[in-house]
Structure 1
Amino acid sequence: MQHLASAARLVRTVRHLKPVQVYARARLLLPRGWPEDRPAPALRPVRVTFVAPTLQVRSLLGRWRVRFLNREGEIAQPPQWNDKAQTKLWLYNLHYFDDLCGPPADAAHRALQRDVINRWIAENPPGAGNGWEPYPVSLRIVNWIKWALAGESLEPHWRDSLAMQVRWLSEHIEWHLLGNHLLANAKALVFAGLFFNGAEADQWLARGLSILRRELPEQILPDGGHFELSPMYHAIILEDVLDLINIGRTFGRGDAKVFRNLPDIAARMRSWLAAMTHPDGGPAFFNDAAFGVAASRADLEAYAGRLGLGAVEEPGEGVQHLAASGYVRVNRGDMAAILDLAAVGPGYIPGHAHADTLSFELSLGCERIVVNGGTSTYTPGALREAQRSTAAHSTVEVEGENSSEVWASFRVARRARVQDVRIEAAGGTIRVSAAHDGYRHLLGRPACRRTWQFEGASLVVADEVACLLSKKAVARFHLGPGVAAESDADRRSGRLQSEGGRVVNWSASSEACIAHSPWFPEFGRSVSTDTLVVPLSAGQLVTRFAWARPSV
């Protein structure tokens, strides 16, 4: 029976794939040959200075000492480029060479960076190991070129290695994954096609632009959101778009059609990121999201300013519906709430999706009061499964199951579908309501509906699970770091106290309990926080939060 259940889950997963993904996965099993090692093409003349991009966090700490994802390590011996004691993502970061785009370095650090490049070339045979997988190849190509455009000279054998990596990448485009990986591949081809000169470089450029021409209209939604619906990956791809604007101008290609469209795409993406950013400057935690991976919104806006792109409008008072991506933002005074009425992502690539449908986050001033659980790992196992689960998000869980059937590290089988979205704003009251059918496979096909009502300095959350044939439905409100929860004797009311002194009174129509749960703000890091856990009674629950307005 277990084998049949696993097979059925696999069918529910792969039936959403595009044919090209199936074909490309089969092709991965075939021998691919070695990358060509002929000399690199000549360099293309620079027309204008490459504008300073966003700065990466310093990750090369000393001679062979590195730090990624809050974990230090050493590149002491060649096997450690592929050290199985490290996570896959940590090793990917080791091969990105983000440190080349870090803060200004002194002569000693620049010499160390050059030594690491020499070591990488000498100790990573072409086509072998983590460093030759298409995604780290793509990011490394871009970082080496950015470093060179910032004024560092590339040794002749480095240029030869760089060209070999581009040739390898051009034959290993990630058609089996698509999505953000495909954009990263295309960006690297464009960077290399402009950095180098001649017929071969023109082929790289043409292929990269062809991918961008086809993918950007699909991946960037009309409201500006990236279709994988992760604020973190959205910020990464926004930086990619800004980098493409930058290098197109550097080599005098800003008037080509793809480059001409990029400022408008960037403007829409910047507006979307503004709506999905909390007052503390960090992204909302929907789907895979954490601090410290993507550039901050402030850094991206500063970069856009250096590129001469106009300012975008900040979220205003009231309600903002990002209809194409499915999120809603509500601003009332110093309160900001971000609501998830979104699908899990594109059907054929939901790898970064969580089972977080109808969850929400709420800030008062610069303090996060209600949060989602965050992301600290991509490594397969119980922790990754827990972080993607419905229970890790501020929403309703039914029968202890996930609203979408997330499994492995990046798989989703059955998906919740959002229905009947209603948004009303009248007389000082804002009501947002939606339902989803993520539990339609359970007995009675229970449907979940959540309504948020904002009025004055209060929020009422009404949850309903229709046709619930058992009593196993529970709402969780995960609280932000430093927010302490208290319960009165009746367990139907109490207070939330933030570190900054804000007090939020809560009340519920059912008896609640206060649990402790981890919050994962960064990869490799967890913080202990409180969670308000409230069961639904006869499929119904009303939870109210009220706070005092800040004194002027």
Structure 2
Amino acid sequence: MLSRYSRLFHTVRYLKPGQIGWRLYYRLLRGRVSRQALAPLGPVARRRWADAWSAPAWMPSALLGEGKAGESKTGEREPGEWAFDFLGERGELGSAEDWNHPGKSKLWLYNLHYLDELCAQGAEERDARHRALVARWIDENPPLAGNGWEPYALSLRLVNLVKWLSGKAGQAGEPIPAAWVASLARQTQALSAQREYHILANHLFANGKALTFAGAFLQGEDAERWLRQGLAILDAEIPEQFLADGGHFERSPMYHATLMWDLADLIQLAECSGLPALEGRALAWRETLVRGLAWLEMMSHPDGEIGFFNDAAFGIGPALADVTGYAEQLGVVPEGEAASLITHAQSAAVVVRHAKASGYVALEWPEAGKALLDLAPVGPDYQPGHAHADTLSFELSLFGQRVLVNSGISRYGEDAERHRQRSTAAHNTVVVDGENSSEVWAGFRVARRARPGPVGIDTQAEGVTITGSHDGYRRLPGRVVHHREWGFQKGQLVVRDRLEGRFTRAEARFHCHAGVSLALQDPRHGELTLPDGRRLALAIEGGEAHVESASWHPRFGESHPSQCLVVAFAAPACSTAFRWA
């Protein structure tokens, strides 16, 4: 019980006073919030924009089937007219109750309510079905009833509706039904009454974007108020959330990529609407997008996909190529000075980039080799909800193939698997006495957290050495500080770990990609075999190794068996060398 209260104290102590105040407001004065959400609205109409919405789509369609459910020739049940595949799980929208189906996870239902389908790839081919889908949502989701009226779901759906109504639905002489415009206004009013100041971070940014989109699409006194609210949020949150090196302050490459797309959308909105209030901000949005693209490129592997630090998985946000393509369409092309706040260094064999503000280091060498090192805080102190206990972890690609990987995520929620995927043991770093380096708990909470020490970068003719440390284990009786050194030379990486303080047991963990096989000849030597047959030799000093079964989670709903090299410390210092031809 004492531990529970301690953990709660060390979580709440980092919150901003406003977060606590807004949380109390929403809990204790729920009736007042509902009255504000349902307050009478003045006349609303659609604004006349300078141009119709036109932007690329990166998300594949989640809508399955073409007609009523039946049986295929193989005897398997065909998906019904309203069947969807979200997060690797299928479900059908057979009745109004299915919008809030008790057998589906909250996240799956949120995806259903986002209506991302309206702006998915090939959406123009499914316009009739989309019209029917929008009509169903409006008819079957009365105001403030169910998941779809929660602020984050409102935010994503409002943006999708505005894009769709400004593009396909307003063309070909087909007027937008007045009931749809009225529903859009009511949804915006509900969001306005529930802005997520108690959560902040990417949730509040999404609120601001949605209010801006709806306020720019609709016309009237209410619309002007929503537009002012949205822009006020964006004016405050963009400089707060995007660090000097371009990285998003939650330090999740997945969410960073999503917010890059959001910024591109805002720039496109300024161009389509022609509203002076947006056009006047577009230059600053473009500058933030340029810096953010440089950070996203730095944090992507040679395969073009993101590294797995904190909450990260494929398919939730756009890939680097998607965001870059959108930016180019808008005339946003990163220039050499775009990454001026990402420090560069170089030896004969390795190029080093240090995103000092966010705390990551990327190293690249010929033949598509890349390493991403985490020397970062877990996130903003007042909102580390997407943080993992992954300080001083790293990922490695060789010859264009991922070799060492962090866990990734397959689910949200508060269950044991979510906790395991956030744990230190699921990442390529050191576990001391079976504890996490940061106290992650309850799905999206962090109590005491690791603080990284200064980063050292030593470039020499033959290679590069990166050094860092963290104090996450100082809360334990032995007051341990973890020091780590990565030594990169041609054809070799040596990871040296040193623990300052007292401990009973410690182990360095190195998770192999699901396509990599690992074999030990003895407790100090072994080899890794890559998918293309290339081999890496392993050599260990100061410890003994064994192999454990593990898993990798590149997408929600996916779990791939893998192997983990576990090196048990025999002394306070231990090193693991990886050598390749």
User: Is 1:50 aligned with 2:53?
Assistant: yes
User: C-alpha separation between the residues in 2 aligned to 1:395 and 1:90?
Assistant: 32
Q: Is the 8 A contact 1:37 1:160 kept in 2?
A: no
Q: Is the 8 A contact 1:53 1:243 kept in 2?
A: no
Query: Structure 1 residue aligned with 2:185, among 160, 163, 166?
Result: 163
Q: Secondary structure at the match of 1:506?
A: strand
Query: Structure 1 residue aligned with 2:527, among 467, 472, 495?
Result: 495
Q: Is the 8 A contact 2:205 2:233 kept in 1?
A: yes
Query: Structure 2 residue aligned with 1:229, among 251, 256, 259?
Result: 251
User: C-alpha separation between the residues in 2 aligned to 1:106 and 1:184?
Assistant: 25
Q: Show the 5 A alignment for 1:255-274.
A: 256-274=279-297
User: Is 1:33 aligned with 2:34?
Assistant: yes
TM-superposed CA distance for 1:73, in Å, is 0.1
Q: Which residue of 1 aligns with 2:77?
A: none
Q: Which residue of 2 aligns with 1:95?
A: 113
C-alpha distance after superposition, 1:49-105 (max 9, x if no partner): 433133322011131101100100001122211112111111110000001011224
C-alpha distance after superposition, 1:125-164 (max 9, x if no partner): 2012110000010000000111122222332211110110
User: C-alpha separation between the residues in 2 aligned to 1:349 and 1:38?
Assistant: 34
TM-superposed CA distance for 1:506, in Å, is 1.1
Q: Give the partner amino acid of 1:48.
A: D
TM-superposed CA distance for 1:505, in Å, is 1.1
Q: Which residue of 2 aligns with 1:375?
A: 409
Q: Is the 8 A contact 1:253 1:259 kept in 2?
A: no
Q: Is the 8 A contact 2:314 2:555 kept in 1?
A: yes
Q: Is the 8 A contact 1:486 1:494 kept in 2?
A: yes
TM-superposed CA distance for 1:265, in Å, is 0.2
Q: Show the 5 A alignment for 1:478-493.
A: 478-488=511-521, 490-493=522-525
Deviates more, 1:20-29 or 1:304-313: 304-313
Deviates more, 1:374-383 or 1:80-89: 80-89
User: Is 1:59 aligned with 2:59?
Assistant: no
Alignment TM-score, normalising by the size of structure 2: 0.91
User: C-alpha separation between the residues in 2 aligned to 1:435 and 1:401?
Assistant: 17
User: C-alpha separation between the residues in 2 aligned to 1:238 and 1:428?
Assistant: 37
User: Is 1:452 aligned with 2:486?
Assistant: yes
Deviates more, 1:271-280 or 1:499-508: 499-508
C-alpha distance after superposition, 1:308-351 (max 9, x if no partner): 11145699951000000000000121210000000010000000
CA spacing shift, 1:117–1:45, aligned 2, 3 Å: same
TM-superposed CA distance for 1:37, in Å, is 6.1
Q: Give the partner amino acid of 2:167.
A: A
TM-superposed CA distance for 1:529, in Å, is 0.6
TM-superposed CA distance for 1:28, in Å, is 1.2
Q: Is the 8 A contact 2:428 2:508 kept in 1?
A: yes
Q: Give the partner amino acid of 1:540.
A: A
User: Is 1:151 aligned with 2:168?
Assistant: yes
Q: Secondary structure at the match of 1:451?
A: strand
Q: Which residue of 2 aligns with 1:11?
A: 9
User: C-alpha separation between the residues in 1 aligned to 2:538 and 2:177?
Assistant: 64
User: C-alpha separation between the residues in 2 aligned to 1:177 and 1:79?
Assistant: 29
User: C-alpha separation between the residues in 2 aligned to 1:115 and 1:376?
Assistant: 31
Q: Give the partner amino acid of 1:112.
A: R
Q: Is the 8 A contact 1:54 1:295 kept in 2?
A: no
TM-superposed CA distance for 1:215, in Å, is 1.0
Q: Is the 8 A contact 2:254 2:312 kept in 1?
A: yes
Q: Which residue of 1 aligns with 2:138?
A: 121
Q: Show the 5 A alignment for 1:471-550.
A: 472-488=505-521, 490-509=522-541, 510-548=543-581
Q: Which residue of 1 aligns with 2:389?
A: 355
TM-superposed CA distance for 1:173, in Å, is 0.1
Gaps of 5+ in 1: none
User: C-alpha separation between the residues in 1 aligned to 2:485 and 2:416?
Assistant: 32
Q: Which residue of 1 aligns with 2:71?
A: none
Q: Show the 5 A alignment for 1:109-508.
A: 109-153=126-170, 154-253=176-275, 256-312=279-335, 318-333=351-366, 334-470=368-504, 472-488=505-521, 490-508=522-540
Q: Give the partner amino acid of 1:508.
A: I
Q: Secondary structure at the match of 2:454?
A: strand
TM-superposed CA distance for 1:38, in Å, is 4.4
CA spacing shift, 1:40–1:431, aligned 2, 3 Å: farther
Deviates more, 1:399-408 or 1:98-107: 98-107
Q: Give the partner amino acid of 2:572.
A: G
Q: Which residue of 1 aligns with 2:99?
A: 81
User: C-alpha separation between the residues in 1 aligned to 2:376 and 2:318?
Assistant: 24
C-alpha distance after superposition, 1:153-183 (max 9, x if no partner): 3322111101100011111100110000000
Q: Secondary structure at the match of 1:84?
A: coil
Q: Is the 8 A contact 2:437 2:473 kept in 1?
A: yes
Q: Which residue of 1 aligns with 2:78?
A: none
Q: Secondary structure at the match of 1:418?
A: coil
User: C-alpha separation between the residues in 2 aligned to 1:308 and 1:529?
Assistant: 42
CA spacing shift, 1:40–1:238, aligned 2, 3 Å: farther
Q: Secondary structure at the match of 2:84?
A: strand
TM-superposed CA distance for 1:39, in Å, is 6.8
Q: Secondary structure at the match of 2:145?
A: coil
CA spacing shift, 1:237–1:10, aligned 2, 3 Å: same
Q: Is the 8 A contact 1:39 1:160 kept in 2?
A: no
Q: Is the 8 A contact 1:484 1:496 kept in 2?
A: yes
Q: Is the 8 A contact 1:40 1:163 kept in 2?
A: no
Percent of pairs with identical residues: 46
Q: Is the 8 A contact 2:127 2:168 kept in 1?
A: no
User: C-alpha separation between the residues in 2 aligned to 1:264 and 1:433?
Assistant: 31
The count of corresponding residues between Structure 1 and Structure 2 is 543
Q: Give the partner amino acid of 1:102.
A: A
User: Is 1:69 aligned with 2:101?
Assistant: no
TM-superposed CA distance for 1:437, in Å, is 0.5
TM-superposed CA distance for 1:443, in Å, is 1.7
Alpha-carbon RMSD across the aligned residues, in angstroms, is 1.5
Alignment TM-score, normalising by the size of structure 1: 0.96
